[in-house]
Amino acid sequence: MASANTFLEEHPDIVQKVVDIHKRAEEWIVNHPDDALQIAIDWLGVASEPVETAFNRIIYDYDVNRTGVEMYLEFLIDQGLVTMGLDQVDTFLNGFINTTFVESA
């Protein structure tokens, strides 16, 4: 999830509720994979095969994967899509990733 710092500061109660709901939804999907798959198929109105393929590739984990975020950011820098030096990645991520709400969920 992403949010502006001002929104986090001005509405921490709303942010916490959204994170709590997201965590509960992920837990439900993990515990009810067949039901979740059927809901997705019905909602999307497509054949089951592509949805099953997508579901099998998704890792439902609400913990922040800092290494994954770092690798993605480095890829964006290498592609010229983000203008910062590789030496700035740690500083950026330290200010960008806020796990407070996930830890409280």
Question: In this predicted model, what pLDDT tens digit does every residue of 56-87 receive, in sequence order?
Answer: 999 888 788 889 999 999 999 999 999 999 99
- Given this model, what pLDDT does residue 2 score? 81
Query: By three-state DSSP, how is residue 61 classified?
Result: coil
CB 69 within 8 A of CB 93: yes
Q: Are residues 81 and 100 in the same domain?
A: yes
Question: What CA–CA distance (Å, rounded) separates 96 from 94?
Answer: 6
Helix, strand, coil fractions of the chain, as percent rounded to 5: 75, 0, 25
Domain identity same for 82 and 98: yes
- What range defines the domain where residue 91 resides? 63-105
- The answer to whether 98 and 75 have CB atoms below 8 angstroms apart is no
For 27-62, how does the pLDDT look when each residue is reduced to its tens digit (9 = 90+)? 999 999 999 999 999 999 999 999 999 999 998 887
What's the token pair of residue 100? Answer: 């407070």
Integer angstrom CA distances of residue 8 from 13, 22, 47, 52, 81: 9, 16, 39, 35, 26
Examine residue 89 and state whether it is found in any structural domain, yes or no: yes
Q: Is residue 2 part of a domain?
A: no
Domain total of the chain: 2
14 and 46 housed in the same domain: yes
